[in-house]
């Protein structure tokens, strides 16, 4: 149990550096959430060197950050260009398409659902229809700018065939 | 625009410049503060547009003035190209002479480009019955 508690202590230190973020989807776990497993029955170590669990001990697992979709270096470069305001319209459309596709794939969002996604890759809200989503997120403030997207569709609205 | 009333099928309207236009009134509402930006358009009906109302992107600043933040997305134009646009919810309260119960019908307001005429899309018309009579250059709308 010494090993487990050391990890816990280290992660507690890391967790203070990150701001709190809200999460919506079931696959996400809130930052700093702690899973507690109590009343673990005592077991006998089968082999020498293995950690033994004592009955009165509690295991704690600390999640410092939510799972993040993997962004390619090219995508990160485009995100950086957004901050500098040098992204062309076509590049901007490509960027949000790529982020939306990565997120929808990562969180396994079914086609047809509409989602609000932060530019860091987190899905902050989802709904069945575009107007439901817009009403849900109206008035909400987010620490990172967001965009809206319809999963499995080429765009959110417009003239589509 | 001349209205020809037909009691059974709604209001018959004549085309204007070979296009179907209809008066739409509504508002961008901040539901928390009750502040609003009134909308009053002579909208061109566009059955190819699947959004609610399309307006110039200058409305984004007006929405911001009542703390309604439009969200960025991409939309497909009629030529197939994709462009960034802002979207937010708006409420339609009147379609021609039909008055809808407050706060109105929520539709998607798409802010894009700087075109002069506003467009009324299929999302705004999904509860309406519209008949187009091409030879007579008229259309009938029943809300």
CB contact residues (below 8 A), chain A span 60-79, against chain B: none
Quote the pLDDT of residue A160: 73
Phi and psi angles of residue A128, each rounded to the nearest 5 degrees, phi first: -80, -35
A68 lies in some domain:
no
Q: Which of A122, A112, A101 is nearest to A25 (CA)?
A: A122
Quote the pLDDT of residue A139: 85
Report the CATH architecture of B23-120.
Beta Barrel (2.40)
Mean pLDDT by 10 residues, chain B (143 residues): 54 91 94 90 93 93 92 92 94 91 92 88 90 92 86
A160 lies in some domain:
no
A161 lies in some domain:
no
* A50 and A111 assigned to the same domain: no
ipTM for the predicted complex comes to 0.88
Quote the pLDDT of residue A16: 41
Q: Token pair for residue A69?
A: 């979709």
Q: What is the chain B residue with the closest CA to A100?
A: B73
Does the distance separating the beta carbons of A145 and B72 come in below 8 Å?
yes
Under DSSP, the state recorded for A134 is H
A157 lies in some domain:
no
CA dihedral sign, ordered B83, B85, B91, B92:
negative
Does the distance separating the beta carbons of B78 and A135 come in below 8 Å?
no
Percent of chain B topping pLDDT 70: 94
Quote the pLDDT of residue A109: 92
Measured between beta carbons, which residues in chain A are less than 8 angstroms from residue B121?
157
Quote the pLDDT of residue A57: 52
Per-residue pLDDT of chain A (161 residues; tens, 9 = 90+): 444 444 444 444 344 444 444 444 444 444 444 444 444 444 444 444 444 545 555 555 554 555 566 788 888 888 887 777 777 888 889 989 999 999 888 889 999 999 999 988 889 999 999 999 999 999 888 888 899 999 999 899 988 76
Provide the residue range defining the domain that includes A47.
2-62
CA distance B14 to chain A (A): 25
* A118 and A144 assigned to the same domain: yes
A156 lies in some domain:
no
Model confidence pLDDT, tens digit, residues B19-31: 999 999 999 999 8
* A46 and A97 assigned to the same domain: no
* A83 and A136 assigned to the same domain: yes
Quote the pLDDT of residue B4: 53
* A54 and A103 assigned to the same domain: no
Q: For chain B, say whether A85 makes contact (Cβ under 8 Å).
A: no
Ordered DSSP codes for A20-58: -----STT---TT-EEEE--PPP---SSTTSPPPPTT--
Tell me how far apart the alpha carbons of residues A104 and B18 are, in angstroms, rounded to a whole number.
43
Whether the CB-CB separation of B33 and B116 falls below 8 Å is answered with no
Q: For chain B, say whether A157 makes contact (Cβ under 8 Å).
A: yes
* A33 and A99 assigned to the same domain: no
Between chain A and chain B, the number of residue pairs with CB atoms below 8 A apart is 95
CA distance A132 to chain B (A): 9
* A80 and A112 assigned to the same domain: yes
Whether the CB-CB separation of A151 and A112 falls below 8 Å is answered with yes
* A57 and A96 assigned to the same domain: no
- Domain count for chain A: 2
């Amino acid at each position: 149990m010494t090993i487990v508690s050391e990890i816990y202590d280290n992660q507690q230190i890391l967790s203070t550096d990150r701001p709190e973020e809200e999460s919506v989807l079931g696959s996400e776990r809130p930052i700093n959430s702690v899973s507690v497993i109590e009343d673990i029955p005592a077991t006998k170590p089968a082999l020498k060197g293995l950690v033994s669990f004592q009955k009165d001990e509690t295991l704690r697992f600390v999640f410092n950050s939510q799972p993040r979709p993997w962004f390619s270096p090219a995508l990160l470069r485009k995100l950086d260009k957004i901050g500098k305001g040098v992204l062309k319209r076509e590049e901007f459309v490509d960027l949000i398409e790529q982020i939306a596709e990565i997120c929808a794939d990562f969180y396994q969002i079914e086609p047809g659902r509409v989602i609000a996604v932060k530019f860091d890759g987190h899905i902050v809200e989802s709904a069945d229809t575009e107007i439901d989503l817009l009403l849900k997120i109206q008035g909400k403030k987010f620490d990172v700018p967001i965009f809206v997207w319809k999963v499995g569709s080429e765009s959110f609205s417009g003239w589509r065939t | 625009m001349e209205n020809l009333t037909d009691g059974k099928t709604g209001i018959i309207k004549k085309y204007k410049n070979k296009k179907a236009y209809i008066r739409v009134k509504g508002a961008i509402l901040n539901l928390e503060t009750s502040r609003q930006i009134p909308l009053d358009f002579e909208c061109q009906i566009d059955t190819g547009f699947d959004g609610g109302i399309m307006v110039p992107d200058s409305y984004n600043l007006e929405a911001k003035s009542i703390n309604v933040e439009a969200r960025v997305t991409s939309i497909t134009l009629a030529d197939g190209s994709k462009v960034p646009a802002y979207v937010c919810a708006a409420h339609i309260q009147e379609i021609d002479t039909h008055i809808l119960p407050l706060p109105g019908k929520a539709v998607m307001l798409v802010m894009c480009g700087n075109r002069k005429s506003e467009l009324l899309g299929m999302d705004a018309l999904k509860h309406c019955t519209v008949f187009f009579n091409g030879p007579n250059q008229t259309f009938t709308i029943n809300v």
